[in-house]
Every structure is written in structure tokens, then in C-alpha cells.
Structure 1
Amino acid sequence: MEVDDSSKPPVKLPQKRFYRQRAHSNPIADHSFDYPVRPDDYDWSQHYPTIGDRRVEFADIGCGYGGFLVTLGELYPEKFALGMEIRVKVSDYVMDRIEALRKLHEGKYGNIACIRTNAMKYLVNYFRKGQLEKMFFLYPDPHFKKAKHKWRIINAALLSEYSYVLRAGGLIYTVTDVKDLHEWMCAHITRHPSFERLSDAEVKEDILSEKLLDSSEEGKKVTRNNGDKFVAIFRRI
């Protein structure tokens, strides 16, 4: 017997105005998170119905409202990408957005997911050594005050963790509209022995180079405001 679904409300994408939250969150504060003791303890099938024995290979750190994460899902249908977002309402929005997209487009977007967590503290709880192929840091919080520079998502200590979870040849992508932060990130990553910066020609050849600028909601905002955008990509040696 066929089921009449005509009485069910149509699936709609969530609206950001119902998920508003302050732009920044203190990554050092004690937030309440559930996280695995080790990567082997985590059940990825709760986020990716078809993942099986495969693993997440892309990590969008501070994924915001998920615009770039959705782009990753579309460009790399055979890869599993994870958005990691610390803000409660923002991560709720991304989760609801992905759920709606899956219902609207049967068979698509099963390769992207979002979790609320603090990547500065718990990254290695989720990913094994050399697991990731790509990591993205798009428009991270600049933490302008010098006393808060230690909160920046790119720093010497965290880069050692990023080099641990990235495979040889894996890439770190950085984008910001703040020149000082761009110079900070480039200086710290270049000084780290595990990374080398891609040349301008290599950046231009990367399929994601243009997507980095405008796929995210923050990138679109910068474009509307005629702001500058600074891009740098680094290879795990």
C-alpha cells in the first residue's frame, strides 16, 4: 500500500535568522562537550550513513554556517568532510541544513556532517595520525588584541597537532580578510618544520582556490563589503 505524503509539510532549508549567535566564542573557556577518548571509540556512522570502514579525510575547522562544507560535499562526492564548529546555534544550523539537503536531494550530501566541538582541544580525539588529506581555516577569528593572540587557531603548539593528523602531502588552506592575521598564519606555518608553502602557480592550479574565497557565508560578506582576501596553502612535508 502506498503512503500518502501529501499531508506532510514540505522540506525547507533552515533560516539563519533563527540561529543567530554572537560572532565569536572563547576557545579557552570551559564549554561542555562530549568527545571520544580516542578516534577508534567514535561512531562515525551516526553522521555518515554510508561511511562503512572509510574515514573522514577533510576537516573544515570553524566551519561557520556551512557554506564551504556544502561546496566540498558537491565537489568531492567520494570524500567525507567534517565541519567542526564551537558555537551552539551555528553548529545546530549546519546540522539542520545538512539534514534538509539530504531530504531535498536524495542520495546527495551524505558525505558531509558537522559536530559541535573545540578543535583547539579535541582534534586528536577524533582523527588518527595521518588521517586527513585537507584542513581548512577559512576566515578564523583574528583575536586582534595581542593578549589574545594565543587564542588564534594557528599557533606553534597547534601546528604540531595539525601535522600529526595530516598525511604526507596533505594541505592546510588559510583564508582571511585581515592582513595582520594572514601574515601571522603564514609566518607561523612557514617556520614549522612540517610545512612548506605552495607557490602562487600551485595555488592557482588547485581546484579549490576560487571556491575558498566566496563559498562560505563569511567570504560572501567580505565580497559584499569590498574587502580584501588573503589566501595561502601549505603542504605537509
Structure 2
Amino acid sequence: MKRTHDQMEDLEKEGEDGEEEKEEAKIGKDSEIIDTMGNKREYATMPKKTKYRMRAHVNPLNEPKFPFPLSPEWVDWSLHYPAYFGKLDNNGDRIVCNTPVHPVTYDTKPEVDEKYKNSQVRILDIGCGYGNLLIELSKEFPEKLILGMEIRDKVTEFVVDKINALRINSGYTKFTNIAAIMTNVMKLVLNYFGKGQLEKIFICFADPHFKKSNYRRRIINGPLLCEYAHLLKEGGKIYTVTDVKDLYDWNVNFLGKHALFEEVTGSEKDDDPCVKMMSEQTDEAKKVIKRGDPVWSAVFRKITGKPSTEALMEYMK
């Protein structure tokens, strides 16, 4: 019997759920969990992808029909990273991610204690999918606040449910530095972050939008690169990976021509653990590797100082 696309997708997710359950079993459901408040906690079951069905594509050119902050000052980051704002109980395990199920309001400016002023997001995963890269980044950069932005509501809910379970099962000692928010990066990324705030931006296995009429939906393009350059500090990096050669060429072309970016190559790229993470540990990367298909990655750094006249002239062509 021929299966539909949705049925095939569900079977694939069930397989992934099975693999994650094997990893989950290693933790030990019967082990005692003592959280940072000294309380005993029951083991939290990991969410299953099959319970979060969502269509694969959302048009990023549509006007947002969900809440968003007027500016970065209107975001209450303590809701997403409570441990970094003095809330040792994980904010009562309250989940917020800007979806109808877990809403966020941006109607007032939060008052932030001076001692928490430096608790700012430094690493951004654009289109974080089911969150595997966030988890790996959390291990590699335990002192950095890391955020995933995802345009699909159900997928975002899966990610935050998983993060919450991981926090509980670690007794609130791990994965407190990662979070996810549903939003439209193409239209709203500047509403969340300030100039030079970010150190790393990841764009992994983005929708290639094969039709020429849909190229304007690609997450790397001229205007958006100017926004990314604004948000990255000098020396900050953009990481990209894809299994579509045409999209790789597109990304390298736009980034390579931009006056504020220079490509990272050679041993600096090869020895960067982030390149291995995004090329092997994301959900999409694992699928590509399983199929035996190649992946193409590129890393670009925001230059230090002002761009040269030659670079500006090349970019303006």
C-alpha cells in the first residue's frame, strides 16, 4: 500500500523518537532527582515528535499574526532563562515560547536588576527546528545564553518542552542556558537583539525555496545580511550548512560579496567544533548522513573596523 507524505513523515519521526528514547533510557528514570532548591523531583518524560505535527513550510513574507516586542528592551529574558536571573526553581517550570499554547506578552518593559544586565543572548540559531543544535551548543558553551528562533509553532513547542524536561532531569543544573521562541526572523530579528550583541549566528539546512519566484524568501539575502552584520559583534561569525549545492553557492555568493564579512577557511574552520556540530548533530544533518548525501558548510566572520573602499565598491556592483 502506498503511503502518503504525512504517513512517511510520521514513520520517520517515530524512528527518531525511538532513538531519543534509547538515549533517554541511559539517564535512568528511576534515579532520584534533587533540584537546586533541594527538592525531590519526578523524572520528566521527553516529548515525542509525532505529537507535534506541523506542516513543513510557513511563508516568512506573511505579516506576523502573533505578539512581538517593540524593541529588545521589551523582552523579558528571565522567562526564558530563569536560572540566569536568580530564579533557581526554573520559574516554576513555566514554559513560554510565544505560541498560543505557551504565550508571551510584550506589553510592558521588564525591570531588570543591575546585576543581571549582562545576562544577554549571545548565540542565535535561526530556524532551530527540533533543537538538537541548541542542546549541543549548550554543552559546548555552558556560560553563554543561546536562543533558537523557529517560525513553526508546534515545532517550537516541542523544543521548549524538551528543554524543560532536560532541565528537570538534570535537577536544574544543565540546559538552563538554552531557549526557543516562535517568531519570524526575516521581519522581527531586530526587535529582539541590539547592535553588536551576538557572537554567533547559525543558519542550518534552511528552506532552499527552489523556485526563482521564491528566492526572496531565502533567509540569506542582501538586506538580511545587513541586519545580521548589525547584530554581530566585530569578529562574530555566521555559520551555514545545507545539503543543497545551489543554496550553498547562493549563501557563499551573498556573504562573500558583503563588505562586512570575510570567509573563514583552512584550519580555523576545520578545527571549529561548531562546524562539526551543525554538519553532524542537527536533525537534518543526521538524515542527510543516513542517506549518504554530502553537506556543504561555510563560515563567515564580521570584519573588525570599517570595510575597505574596494569591498564597498564590490558590494555596490
1:162 matched to 2:228? The reply is: yes
Sequence identity percentage: 45
1:47 matched to 2:113? The reply is: no
Distance 1:59 1:33 in 2: 20
Question: 1:175-200: per-residue Cα shift (whole Å, max 9, x none)?
Answer: 00000000000000111101000113
Unpaired segments ≥5 residues, structure 1: none
CA drift of 1:201 comes to 2.1
1:133 matched to 2:199? The reply is: yes
Distance 1:29 1:212 in 2: 28
Task: With the length of structure 2 as denominator, give the TM-score of the two structures.
Answer: 0.71
3-state DSSP class of the match of 1:57?
A: strand
User: In the alignment, residue 23 of structure 1 is paired with which amino acid?
Assistant: A
CA drift of 1:146 comes to 0.4
CA drift of 1:40 comes to 1.3
3-state DSSP class of the match of 2:219?
A: coil
Structure 1 residue aligned with 2:140, among 69, 75, 78?
A: 75
CA drift of 1:82 comes to 0.1
Relative CO higher for 1 or 2, CA cutoff 8 Å, sep ≥ 6? 1
Distance 1:155 1:100 in 2: 36
Does 35-44 or 62-71 show the bigger shift? 35-44
1:59 matched to 2:124? The reply is: yes
1:221 matched to 2:287? The reply is: yes
User: In the alignment, residue 40 of structure 1 is paired with which amino acid?
Assistant: E
The residue correspondences of 1:1-237 to structure 2 (distance < 5 A) are 10-51=43-84, 52-53=116-117, 54-106=119-171, 107-237=173-303
Distance 1:186 1:29 in 2: 26
Structure 1 segments, 4+ long, off by >2 Å, are 50-53
3-state DSSP class of the match of 2:273?
A: coil
Instruction: Give the alignment's Cα RMSD to 1 decimal.
Output: 1.5
Distance 1:171 1:233 in 2: 7
User: In the alignment, residue 195 of structure 1 is paired with which amino acid?
Assistant: F
Distance 2:196 2:40 in 1: 46
Does 66-75 or 27-36 show the bigger shift? 27-36
Paired residues in the alignment total 233
Alpha-carbon distance change, 11 to 179 in structure 1, aligned in 2, over 3 angstroms? same
Distance 1:200 1:35 in 2: 40
Distance 2:146 2:76 in 1: 15
Question: 1:79-123: per-residue Cα shift (whole Å, max 9, x none)?
Answer: 000000000110010010101000011211110000000011111
3-state DSSP class of the match of 2:199?
A: strand
3-state DSSP class of the match of 2:200?
A: strand
Unpaired segments ≥5 residues, structure 2: 1-38, 85-115, 304-317
User: In the alignment, residue 198 of structure 2 is paired with which amino acid?
Assistant: L
3-state DSSP class of the match of 2:228?
A: helix
Distance 1:30 1:227 in 2: 35
3-state DSSP class of the match of 1:113?
A: strand
Distance 2:301 2:234 in 1: 8
User: In the alignment, residue 298 of structure 2 is paired with which amino acid?
Assistant: A
User: In the alignment, residue 28 of structure 1 is paired with which amino acid?
Assistant: L
Distance 1:68 1:142 in 2: 19
3-state DSSP class of the match of 1:187?
A: helix
Distance 1:41 1:17 in 2: 34
Distance 1:135 1:218 in 2: 18
CA drift of 1:5 comes to 6.8
